[in-house]
Amino acid sequence: VTSILFAHDPKSAGPWRSVFQENAPDISFNVWEEGTDCPETDYLITWKPPAGLISRLPRLRGIFLLSAGVDHLALPDIPRGVDLFRMSEPGLVNGMVEYVTFAVLGIHRGMFRYARQQASHSWKRDRDAASPVTRIGVMGLGALGSAVVASLRSQGFAVSGWSRTKREIAGVPTYCGREGLGDFLPGADILISLVALTPQTRGLVDASMLAQLPRGAAFVNVARGDVVNENDLLAALASGQIGQAVLDVFATEPLPPDHPFWSHPNVFVTPHVASVFQPETAAMAVLENLRAHLAGARPAAIVDHDRGY
Ligand code: NDP
């Protein structure tokens, strides 16, 4: 019997247990609590494996993470024989598409500016605010970035993309690697960050990158705070090089109460809520990957230790 252990807040196990009981009665579903290891465990579901647990599970073959990013883990601590699966599921994708659509439309239609005007009871109409040619550059064309590209395109935006390796998306100019940035950045009136955080992308969005965007461009970060050099972003906001930032993720979370982002008139802050997985659809996605893995397949959600995501 294949055995799966849910090692996360036990109070959140309910929907997972239901999905497994209903759809996989052949799989034994257990919930971990301190001091009650299940040594027969084949697969773990967790955000971060509890300290020492992996070494006490001799049969462990795979870990299903409750997050899309793996930057909170020390990858070298995960044995190579244990496959690590990122969270990739329709609920997470939909949430991200909604958030980015909100940010893009808010910028495109000047809504963040009108919100500021409302605070000072100012009736100032900008009939030209909705420029017909807002060009959007999406950095990161993975599960989330590619869905964002498709959705924005369907709304009529001109979209381009950038990733580590060359991605082909019909009708979308795509660029890759550091050498691709020179062509990609000048065409992005709104830059959206959806890259994985790795040693290569830490501090990626810095003064020199921001300077290559069109003057007054907007920046949306829904990846990880450490992808951005926050001081460089503040300087670009101060100089007007960046006109608006929509930020969901920060180098330090919670964002410290005295951080300048909180009160900056051109920064819209949300508390890392762009997208969360939905337990029911996430459990179904885990089950699908689990079945494929048991059948010997290598689902796309498996993390590549060498590339770090
Ligand atoms: P994927 O692993 O599917 O995609 C990651 C993308 O980042 C790929 O396109 C990859 O390029 C690109 N990338 C990685 N390294 C580099 C590099 N050095 N240079 C250029 N591009 C690079 O991840 P997802 O799409 O599922 O998620 C993306 C990120 O979104 C997650 O890592 C997480 O940090 C964040 N996230 C944030 C949430 C929030 O609520 N704010 C919620 C969920 C996720 P390539 O295509 O060539 O492999």
Q: What is the pTM of this model?
A: 0.96
Task: Give the pLDDT score at 126.
Answer: 81
Tokens for 59, please give them.
């049969």
- 135 given a catalytic annotation: no
Task: Give the pLDDT score at 132.
Answer: 60
Task: Give the pLDDT score at 36.
Answer: 81
Q: How far is the CA of 246 from the centre of ligand 1 (A)?
A: 18
- What pLDDT, in 10s, does the model give residues 118-146? 999 999 998 765 566 799 999 999 999 99
- What share of residues in the chain are helix, strand, coil (percent, to 5)? 35, 20, 45
Task: Give the pLDDT score at 35.
Answer: 80
Q: Give the mean pLDDT of 155-178.
A: 97
Ligand 1 binding pocket includes 194 (Cβ within 6 Å)? yes
From the number of C-beta atoms within 10 Å of its C-beta (0-12, 13-18, 19+), residue 280 rates as: middle
Mean pLDDT of the chain, nearest integer: 96
Q: How far is the CA of 56 from the centre of ligand 1 (A)?
A: 31
Q: Give the mean pLDDT of 11-18.
A: 97
Write down the catalytic residue from 8, 17, 109, 272: 272
Closest CA to 69 of 248, 234, 189, 213: 248
Q: Is residue 33 over pLDDT 70?
A: yes
Write down the catalytic residue from 86, 113, 164, 224: 224
Ligand 1 binding pocket includes 309 (Cβ within 6 Å)? yes
Confidence of residue 171 (pLDDT cuts 50, 70, 90): very high
Q: How far is the CA of 112 from the centre of ligand 1 (A)?
A: 26
**Paired strand residues for 244:** 218
Ligand 1 binding pocket includes 163 (Cβ within 6 Å)? yes
Task: Give the pLDDT score at 306.
Answer: 93
Q: What is the Cα 77 distance to its own chain's centre?
A: 23
- 298 given a catalytic annotation: no
Of the chain, the end-to-end C-alpha distance in Å amounts to 30
Q: Give the mean pLDDT of 3-18.
A: 97
Task: Give the pLDDT score at 34.
Answer: 83
Residue bearing the CA closest to ligand 1, atom 37: 223
Q: Is residue 198 over pLDDT 60?
A: yes
Q: How far is the CA of 125 from the centre of ligand 1 (A)?
A: 38
